[in-house]
Amino acid sequence: MPWLTTIILFPIVASLLIPFIPDKEGKGRPIRWFALVIGLIDFSLIVYAFYTQYDLSYPGLQLVESYPWIPQIGLNWSVGADGLSMPLVILTGFITTLATLAAWPVTWKPRLFYFLLLAMYGGQIAVFAVQDMLLFFLVWELELIPVYLLLAIWGGKKRQYAATKFILYTAGGSLFILVAALAMAFYGDTVTFDMRAIAAKDMAVNFQLWMYAAFFIAYAVKLPIIPFHTWLPDAHGEATAPVHMLLAGILLKMGGYAYIRMNAGMLPDAHAVVAPALVIFGVVNIVYAALTSFAQRNLKRKIAYSSISHMGFVIIGIASFTDLGLSGAVLQMVSHGLIGASLFFLVGATYDRTHTLMLDEMGGVGKRMGKMFSMWTACSLASLALPGMSGFVAELMVFVGFAQSDAYNPTFKALVILLAAVGVILTPIYLLSMLREICYGPENKELVEHQALIDAEPREVFIIACLLVPIIGIGLYPKILTQVYDATTVQLTERLRDSVPAIAQKQQMPETPLALQPFVGAPSIRK
C-alpha cells in the first residue's frame, strides 16, 4: 500500500467534499465534525504506517514511493521518510488534528475555513515527505496559500497587513528555493531533481556556497532567523487560535527541517565553512529575541518572540557537528512544536474571555478561572525548560553537544555557551513575569465587570492535556523520541564531520575570514 501518498492525499481529497456537505443551520456544525473525523483518520493512518512499516535502526529513506508525474521535465511524485521526516510528520498530524478541534467556535465561512485546514494538512505532511526538489518547491508554495487566506480572512484588525507581509516574505524566500533547485538539478553531466541523486553529485565548494546562501535566505524566513523574522510577530498578532497552533507548531519546523535536509545534508562542504557564522546567528536569535520578548506588553507578540528565541537552539544544534547536538536540534523542533501550540492556544482561549491582549489589563484573571490558571502555569513552566519537560532535555542536549564539539576552539565555544546561557536565564524571567501579570496581582475591575470570565471548558482542557502528555513524557523519557531519528542523525553527522578537515586545510591563515577562524587550528576531526 502507498502509505505516504495516501496520508498526503487523503485530507486534500476529503476537503473537496466539503462544498457538498449539507449545513441547514449555516453554522458549520456538520462540517467541523467532518473535518475532525478526517483529521483523526489521517493521524491514525500516520501512526499505524510508521508503527508497522518503519524500521528504527535503518538510517535511510523508508516507505519510498516514486511515480512519474510529468516525465517531460523529469518531475516525479517521489516521497519517503527517514529519521528526520518521521517525527515531524507525526507532529504535523497530531497538531493539525488538535487545531481542527481548537477551531470549534468558528462559525463564519466554515466551509472555506475547514477546506483550507484540510488542504493545509496534506500540504504540510508533503513538505516533510517529498524527495524531489521541484516537487518540494511546489508543495512548499501550496502550503503557503491556505496560511495566507486563514490570516487574511479570519485574522484581527490588521490581518491584511500581516497576511500580505507573510506572503511577501515567504514567497520571496521561495524564489531562492526554485533557483537553487534548478541550478543543482542541472549541475554536472546529469539532470535530476531527485534529492538523493543531487546529494551524490560532486559539486565544487564555491558552487555549494552559492546554493547554501540561496537556501539560507529561503529557510531563514521560516525558521525564523533574525533579521528575517519580522513577519512572525505580526502574523501571530493577528491570527486565530488554530492558526496560531499551525504557525508555531509546524511552520517554523519546516525551515529547520529543510535546513538540515538540504543545507547540511546536500551541501556538507559549504556547511563546514558557514557553520561558525550559523552559530553566531543562533546566539543572536536566543539573546535578542529573549530581550525583545521581555519588553513586549502584547501577549501574542511576547510569545512570538519567545518562539524565535527558542529556535536559536535549533540553529546551534545543526552547526555543532556532533550527534548529540544535532539530536538536540531535532528534539527542540518537536518539543517547541508542542509547547508553542499549547501556549498560543491558551492565548486564543484567554482572549476569547478577556477581549484584550495587553498584559496591563489582565490582572488577577487566574483568581476567576482556576483551570485556565493551571494550564497557563503548566505550559509556561514547559516553555522555560523546567526539568522534567521536553524543552529542558532538548536545550541541554544542544548545550552539551556543542560543548563537546571538536570543530571549534575552546574560546569560541565558551563565548557561545555563555551568551546562550544569558538567553536561557532571561526566558524564565519574562515567562514567570507574564504568568504573574495574567494570573496574579490585583484584579482589573473594569475587566471583571464587563467580561464574563468563564473558566476553561472540557474541550479546551482536553486539547492542553493532549499536548502536555507528550511534553512531560519526552521530558521524563527522551529516548521514546530520540530512538526514532538517532540512526539518521548519526549518519548525517559522520558525513558533515568528514567535510571539516578538508575545508580547514585549504584555508591559509592570513586569508582566513574572521568567521572561519574557529575551524583553523582546531584539532582534526576523526570518526
pLDDT of residue 338: 92
Amino acid letter, residue 186: F
> How would residue 57 be classed by pLDDT, with cut points 50, 70 and 90?
confident
List CB contacts of 462: < 8 A, sequence separation 6 or more.
101
**pTM for this one?**
0.89
The DSSP bridge pattern shows strands 75-81 and 62-70 to be antiparallel
Q: What is the pLDDT of residue 449?
A: 66
pLDDT band of 507, cuts 50, 70, 90 = very low
pLDDT of residue 327 exceeding 80, the answer is yes
Report the distance separating Cα 296 and Cα 408, nearest Å.
35
Q: Which residues contact 92 (CB under 8 A, 6 or more apart)?
A: 121, 124, 125, 128, 250
Peptide bond into 224 cis (omega under 30): yes
Residues 6+ apart with CB under 8 A from 459: 101, 104
* Alpha carbon distance 120, 39 (integer Å): 11
pLDDT band with cut points at 50, 70 and 90 for residue 47: very high
Residue 310 pLDDT > 90:
no
pLDDT of res. 300 = 86
Question: 511 pLDDT band (50/70/90 cuts)?
Answer: very low
Residues 383 and 389: their CA atoms lie apart, in Å, by: 8
Tell me what pLDDT residue 91 has.
93
Residues 6+ apart with CB under 8 A from 8: 79, 122, 125, 126, 129
Report DSSP letters for 80-124, one per residue. EE-TTHHHHHHHHHHHHHHHHHHTTT--SSHHHHHHHHHHHHHHH
- The H or E element containing residue 348 is helix 323-354
- Burial tier of 216 (Cβ tally within 10 Å: 0-12, 13-18, 19+): buried
**Domain chopping of the chain, boundaries:** 3-499
Q: Quote the cell numbers at residue 25.
A: 443551520
Q: How large is the average pLDDT for residues 225-251?
A: 84
Note the pLDDT tens digit of each residue in 398-455.
989 999 888 888 899 999 999 988 888 888 888 888 888 887 767 777 776 666 677 7
pLDDT computed for residue 505 by the predictor = 55
* Cα(172)–Cα(176) distance, integer angstroms: 7
Q: Count CB atoms within 10 A of the CB of residue 493.
A: 21
C-alpha cell at 251: 511552520
Cα gap 86→62, rounded to integer Å: 10
In this predicted structure, the answer to whether residue 500 has a pLDDT above a threshold of 80 is no
User: How big is the chain, counted in residues?
Assistant: 527
| pLDDT tops 60 at residue 503 | no
Query: Where is pLDDT greater, at 162 or 447?
Result: 162
- The confidence band for 384, taking pLDDT boundaries of 50, 70 and 90, is confident
Question: In this predicted structure, what is the pLDDT of residue 308?
Answer: 87
State how far the Cα of 177 lies from the Cα of 23, in Å rounded to an integer. Answer: 41
Mean pLDDT confidence for 243-248: 86
What is the rounded (10 degree) CA torsion for 432, 438, 440, 444?
A: 150
pLDDT at residue 508 in the model: 42
β-partners of residue 66 are: 78
Tell me how many degrees the CA angle 157-159-162 measures, rounded to the nearest 5. Answer: 130
Instruction: Give the orientation angle of helix 85-102 with respect to helix 323-354, to 10 degrees.
Output: 0
What's residue 502's pLDDT? Answer: 45
Q: Is 479 exposed, middle or buried (0-12, 13-18, 19+ CB in 10 A)?
A: exposed
The angle at the Cα of 353, spanning 348 to 359, to the nearest 5 degrees, equals: 70
Per-chain mean pLDDT for the chain: 85
Helix (H/G/I), strand (E/B), else coil: 219:
helix
Q: pLDDT of 164-210, one tens digit each?
A: 888 888 888 889 999 999 999 988 888 888 888 888 888 888 999 99
- Collapsing DSSP to helix, strand or coil, 64 comes out as strand
**CA atoms of 383 and 310, how far apart (whole Å):** 9
Side chain identity at 524, as an amino acid letter? Answer: S
pLDDT at 88: 93
Paired residues of 358 in beta bridges: 298
Report the C-alpha gap between 520 and 367 in whole angstroms: 58
Q: What is the pLDDT of residues 90-108, one digit of tens each?
A: 999 999 999 999 888 888 8
Q: Is the pLDDT of residue 522 over 60?
A: no
